[in-house]
């Protein structure tokens, strides 16, 4: 994943990317154990992780390119008169990265786990007639395992994409 998205220069960041993936995956799957707690379903946790990644990637970008890293906000080859519109749009886009990264993980983990708990409550309340909600619960649980792994992958792959932008620019 790191080699494909960041390139050979990103190999030095592999331990961080791997640790990030395992941490998010563990946090996501932890909530699948009955009576446990999914810490990635809290916005403060995901926002802190995203801010650490955002600050780290920004520092890497400035360390590698110096003030030239600011060229990220004005695409090469764009007419100069478009700077009035492009630069604010690019700045807003760049600053929204940690918000989108954190909300995506938080919302998916929160929604899936709440859905499982609601259906589990139906199964218990309906007694013998709870066969249909139980079948739905089994399907939703399988889907939630898939979503847990997929969200860890997406969080990590977006980190790699942001790292690629910092190392290689556009």
CA-based R_g, the chain, Å: 20
Q: From first to last of its 170 residues, what are the pLDDT tens digits of the chain?
A: 888 888 888 889 999 999 999 999 999 999 888 888 889 999 999 999 999 999 999 999 999 999 989 888 888 888 989 889 999 999 999 999 999 999 999 999 999 888 888 888 877 777 777 788 888 888 999 999 999 999 999 999 999 999 998 998 76
Q: Please state the pTM of the whole predicted model.
A: 0.87
Let me know: does 167 contact 11? Beta carbons within 8 Å: no
20/24 Cα distance (integer angstroms)? 6
101/97 Cα distance (integer angstroms)? 6
Let me know: does 112 contact 144? Beta carbons within 8 Å: yes
> Alpha helices of 31-130 — where are they, by DSSP H?
43-65, 83-95, 97-126
DSSP line for 103-124: HHHHHHHHHHHHHHHHHHHHHH
């Amino acid at each position: 994943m790191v080699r494909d998205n960041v390139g050979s220069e990103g190999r030095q960041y592999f331990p961080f990317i791997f640790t990030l993936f395992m941490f998010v995956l563990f946090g996501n799957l932890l909530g699948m154990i009955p009576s446990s707690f999914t810490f990635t379903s809290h916005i403060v946790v995901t926002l802190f992780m995203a801010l650490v990644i955002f600050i780290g990637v920004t520092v890497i970008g400035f360390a590698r390119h110096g003030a030239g890293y600011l060229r990220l906000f004005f695409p090469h080859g764009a007419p100069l008169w478009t700077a009035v519109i492009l630069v604010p749009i690019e700045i807003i886009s760049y600053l929204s990265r940690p918000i989108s990264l954190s909300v995506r993980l938080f919302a998916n983990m929160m929604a899936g786990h709440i859905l499982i708990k609601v259906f589990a409550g139906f199964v218990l309340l309906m007694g013998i007639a709870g066969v249909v909600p139980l079948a739905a619960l089994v399907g939703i649980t399988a889907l939630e395992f898939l979503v847990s792994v997929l969200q860890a992958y997406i969080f990590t792959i977006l980190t790699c994409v942001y790292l690629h932008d910092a190392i290689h620019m556009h």
